Structure 1
Amino acid sequence: MDTANISQCSEVTLKCFLLSRFQRAIGQQGTLGEIPLNRSKDSARVLYLSAIALKLAKTWQQTPQTIAAQLAETLEPLCYPDFAVKVAPAGIIELELTDPGLAVWLQRLAQTNLPLPESRILSPVVSADRLFPIQYSHARCCSLLRMAHRDRIISIAQPDVATAPQIWSLAAPNPIPWIDDGDRLRLVHPAERSLISQLLTVLDNLYPIFEVKNREKPVNYFKLAKSLSEAFQIFYSQCQIWGEVKIEQPQLAQARLGLILATQSLLRFILENFLNAIAPLEL
């Protein structure tokens, strides 16, 4: 990873954040090129796996287990409190996002504009009928946020914008109550976890556009937006915000609206900047 981009990337994606920590942990001993880092497919957890110790074993002339233990010891304070670090069999380093850490990243995603790369490759032209479900999801996000503002579940700082905002700034609650009094994430429904997983997957797949060396690596923007749109529709059909939830669990309703904020932000980012399409307020 290019060191010139670490300060920017570390605030954009989890993958950038972890790669920068790995680079600091490895120090001046060399990385043999790219650092292997992949996310587990388990949507119930946000778990990253790295086989960097296996890659370094020959150069460092140590066993993968020994190298992994050394790196994990160095990584732990660098990643705290966002990630818990441990060594799995065969020298694989596991980094699992904690609930408080996930809350921080969700808050950032819901309330911070993604930086637009200076140079970018637009997606091939996508037909209007294929774009429509994605645009519909964006419009539905906007509609739900306006309804929640009117019902005083949340307070949007500037709700009467003429066009769809990239980020709707929340006046309240701020921060969004992602976690409960026991520091556990409120969002535990499978559809919530699936949407969270897809949000992070989109960010990880957008990672090359924020990293100088990989900026020409192709990214299937339509596929990313389509998958996020589908995850949102499932979430919306299974996770209530109004009715009993609004009355008895208002903070859960606000956390679910936080997911909608994050989804709206990412859908608009991809639609307008990479699919050359409108992100409508309503349809």
Structure 2
Amino acid sequence: MDTLNISQCPEVTVKCFLLLRLLFAIEEQGTTSEIPLNRAKNRERVVYVSAIALKLAATWDETPQAIAAQLAEILKPLCCPDFAVQVAPSGIIELELTDAGLAFWLQRLAQIPLPVPEYRTLSPVISADRLFPIQYSHARCCSLLRMADRDRLIAIAQPNVTTAPQIWSLAAPNPIPWVDEGDRRLLLVAPAERSLISELIAVLDGLSPVFEANQPEKPVNYFKLANSLSAAFQTFYSQCRIWGEVKTEQPKLAQARLGLILATQSLLRFILEELLNAMAPIEL
């Protein structure tokens, strides 16, 4: 394991990135163990928590707090600057995705196609009426992106397509302005923006068994993941403007919001076409 940051990692999901680094931290101490890692229930922040120190306390003959502190010191150079690593008084290790980390992960999701797994279990056939809201959200994403390209808010490299692309590459802006150039804070702070970001990360993590070499122990509910992402997008779309005053006075915010739409379109298309064996229409 090297100390390359998240921008150079080959892992597909955030959870997988962290699991591998936690595994390295444990192996550094001469121990291997199954690693508990879960997302904290917080829609405003992307925080993962691990109780691995509590699990190891019985065999390491140390307090959970001491073990967690040791592991945190190993994790910090492996995760910095993309994750803030902290130890709670109980011995729980907390890993929060920083604004820099979020900006990278969103850019990656928006502009790099997800790998099509060699082995995957396709979903059972879903009725058209149940799929329609998800397909509508995908088509709405495509419509907004094409409109933004026409209005020169963004420049899509190849906008004139007859079918939904695997991913729409942006000629400009590249990279998408996710963070403020001054204080390097994420521009997307509205509740609906944060909720959509949280859902994007959660859905991607939910698909992690799809990208693993081994078949998952239990099937992944692709429809449920896509439906949750679709609902979060619809809330974002109804509450977060792109045109009007936002386009005129805060063009970088408008572009960051379009980046979220591009990431959503990419992930919805992947689930619809590659996992649900359904169409991902660019218009309805």
User: Could you say whether these structures have the same fold, taking a TM-score greater than 0.5 normalized by the shorter chain as the test?
Assistant: yes
Q: Give 1:62's aligned amino acid.
A: E
Structure 1 SS opposite 2:209: helix
Structure 2 unaligned spans of 5+ = 1-7
**1:65 is matched with which residue?**
65
Structure 2 SS opposite 1:95: strand
Deviation at 1:214, TM superposition (A): 5.0
Q: What TM-score do the two structures reach when normalised by structure 1?
A: 0.95
**2:244 is matched with which residue?**
243
Structure 2 SS opposite 1:89: coil
Q: Give 1:100's aligned amino acid.
A: A
Deviation at 1:114, TM superposition (A): 0.6
Q: Does 1:141 align with 2:141?
A: yes
Change (3 A) 1:216 1:161: farther
**1:4 is matched with which residue?**
none
Q: Distance in 2 between matches of 1:69 and 1:87?
A: 7
**2:282 is matched with which residue?**
281
Structure 1 unaligned spans of 5+ = 1-7
Deviation at 1:26, TM superposition (A): 1.3
Q: Give 1:30's aligned amino acid.
A: T
Deviation at 1:9, TM superposition (A): 8.0
Deviation at 1:216, TM superposition (A): 4.5
**2:202 is matched with which residue?**
201
Q: Deviations over 1:195-244 (max 9, x none)?
A: 00000010110011112345343110000000000000000000000001
**2:158 is matched with which residue?**
158
Deviation at 1:57, TM superposition (A): 1.1
Q: Deviations over 1:91-119 (max 9, x none)?
A: 10000011111101100010011111111
**1:3 is matched with which residue?**
none
Q: Identify, as 1 or 2, the structure richer in helix.
A: 1
Q: Distance in 1 between matches of 2:277 and 2:252?
A: 36
Q: Distance in 2 between matches of 1:127 and 1:79?
A: 43
Q: Distance in 2 between matches of 1:70 and 1:224?
A: 36
Asked whether the equivalents of residues 31 and 56 of structure 1 are also in contact (C-alpha less than 8 Å), the reply is: no
Q: Distance in 2 between matches of 1:155 and 1:65?
A: 51
**1:5 is matched with which residue?**
none
Q: Distance in 1 between matches of 2:247 and 2:90?
A: 48
Q: Distance in 2 between matches of 1:116 and 1:135?
A: 20
Q: Distance in 1 between matches of 2:215 and 2:99?
A: 30
Q: Give 1:50's aligned amino acid.
A: S
Q: How high is the sequence identity, in percent, across the aligned residues?
A: 76
Q: Distance in 1 between matches of 2:81 and 2:69?
A: 19
Q: Deviations over 1:112-153 (max 9, x none)?
A: 111111111111211000000000000000000000000000
Q: Distance in 2 between matches of 1:205 and 1:47?
A: 15
Q: Distance in 1 between matches of 2:11 and 2:64?
A: 30
Q: Give 2:40's aligned amino acid.
A: S
Q: Distance in 1 between matches of 2:105 and 2:222?
A: 22
Q: Which moved more, 1:154-163 or 1:214-223?
A: 214-223
Q: Which moved more, 1:54-63 or 1:184-193?
A: 54-63
**1:109 is matched with which residue?**
109
**1:31 is matched with which residue?**
32
Q: What TM-score do the two structures reach when normalised by structure 2?
A: 0.94
Q: Distance in 2 between matches of 1:220 and 1:10?
A: 25
Q: Does 1:170 align with 2:154?
A: no
Q: Deviations over 1:43-65 (max 9, x none)?
A: 10000000000111122121111
Q: Does 1:19 align with 2:19?
A: yes
Q: Distance in 2 between matches of 1:163 and 1:130?
A: 22
**2:52 is matched with which residue?**
52
**2:129 is matched with which residue?**
129
Q: Does 1:266 align with 2:258?
A: no
Asked whether the equivalents of residues 120 and 215 of structure 1 are also in contact (C-alpha less than 8 Å), the reply is: no
Q: Deviations over 1:20-60 (max 9, x none)?
A: 1111111252232x210000110100000000001111221
Asked whether the equivalents of residues 135 and 280 of structure 1 are also in contact (C-alpha less than 8 Å), the reply is: yes
Structure 2 SS opposite 1:171: strand
